Structure 1
Amino acid sequence: MNVQDMMVFRDAGSRTVDKYLMSYEGQVIAVRRHPAVLLQAAAETLAGLILSALVHTYTGFPLLWFPWLLVVGRLVWKVLTWSIEFFLVTEHRVMLISGVLNRKVAMMPLAKVEDIKLDRSPIGRILGYGEFEIESAGDKQALRNVTYMPYPEQLYLEISSMIFGAEDESPD
């Protein structure tokens, strides 16, 4: 199965990506980061809920609900940020589009990419994400580490074949 077959876009995501493409570029790979990027914020929100409920139950002190609402707001913000952030690879460049209010586009020409490394931690292997380290000839790189990438092996092979010109001859 090809990485492109696994990617699902909603209309807003496609529009978000398309406005950063040049007229001659075709969208080759575009993915969101793995949802595991939200685990810490979700765990903190759940812990805050439990703490607030326990304090309210045993002391009758309801003021801890207000800080918990701030934690919920932070989780909502992180989900919104995650939903509009994309890692994009075209036949000409690699980009990371991020930011809600202040949009950032980190870009590296594909011709400048000298090496790409895949790093998978034990928890990343369990949950299905990895980290890409992209190296280029320049000292200052706008796009070096891309964390929480879904389908890491498949993406790694797709991107490597685009960079180094190898074609996958496997039957699947």
Structure 2
Amino acid sequence: MALGLWVDPRIAKHLLRDEGEVIVDEVRHHWAAYVRPVLEGLVGFGLLLLSGVTPVDVAWLPILLAFGVLGHALWLAVAAHRDRFVITNMRVFRVHGVLGQSLATMPLSRILDITVRRPLHGRILGFGHFCFESAAQEQGIRDVRYVAHPYQRDLAIQRVVQRAGLRGRQFH
């Protein structure tokens, strides 16, 4: 149970409940973001198996390397799991970090443009990356990577912005 609390980024504590803020969508990473940690984990287990056939006097080396690689793979997996992008009726924000936690917020009124990038492997596997443009030179939220169903999520943001009355009606 303690591990679950440590791995959960606890999004609800960042909401402005008394102002009526509600979550429209909480975006976790697509499974493709976990491919690298899994591959590193397999390399780590391979090094552990290698230590079984290595002479005893140097078996410590592949074991040490295995623990280093497995630790790094675990770190990457936890970092991907704790990285959340949240769309609310008032703003978008991103919470991420393993030992420490960073929170970057952008009010809906500051979102000028959203670019959805879908590389070839993202199109095949069903993910994309968001790039937010705002009026500010530097912003806390710029790139959000490995977003599942990026076009639907982009439409969700556009709907929330439209419902908030932040954009004029568009006529075709």
- The TM-score with structure 1 as length reference comes to 0.79
Residue number among 119, 122, 136 corresponding to 2:134 in the alignment? 136
Residue number among 119, 122, 128 corresponding to 2:120 in the alignment? 122
Aligned to 1:109: 107
Contact 2:40 2:70 in 1 (8 A): no
Matches of 2:161 and 2:114, distance apart in 1: 9
**Shift of the alpha carbon at 1:103?**
0.9
Matches of 2:54 and 2:138, distance apart in 1: 55
Aligned to 1:82: 80
Residue number among 16, 30, 36 corresponding to 1:34 in the alignment? 30
Q: Match of 1:132, SS?
A: strand
Contact 1:129 1:149 in 2 (8 A): yes
Is the counterpart of residue 70 in structure 1 residue 64 in structure 2? no
Residue number among 148, 151, 160 corresponding to 1:150 in the alignment? 148
Which shifted more, 60-69 or 19-28? Answer: 60-69
Matches of 1:163 and 1:112, distance apart in 2: 10
Q: Match of 2:10, SS?
A: helix
Is the counterpart of residue 21 in structure 1 residue 6 in structure 2? no
Across the two proteins, how many residue pairs are aligned to each other? 156
Contact 1:16 1:84 in 2 (8 A): no
Matches of 1:14 and 1:40, distance apart in 2: 21
Contact 1:129 1:152 in 2 (8 A): yes
Aligned-residue Cα RMSD (Å) equals: 2.4
- 1:140-166: per-residue Cα shift (whole Å, max 9, x none)? 111111111112121111112222449
- The TM-score with structure 2 as length reference comes to 0.79
Gaps of 5+ in 2: 165-172
Residue number among 41, 44, 50 corresponding to 2:46 in the alignment? 50
Percent identical pairs in the alignment equals: 31
**Shift of the alpha carbon at 1:129?**
1.2
Contact 1:116 1:160 in 2 (8 A): no
Which shifted more, 48-57 or 102-111? Answer: 48-57
Structure having the higher Rg: 2
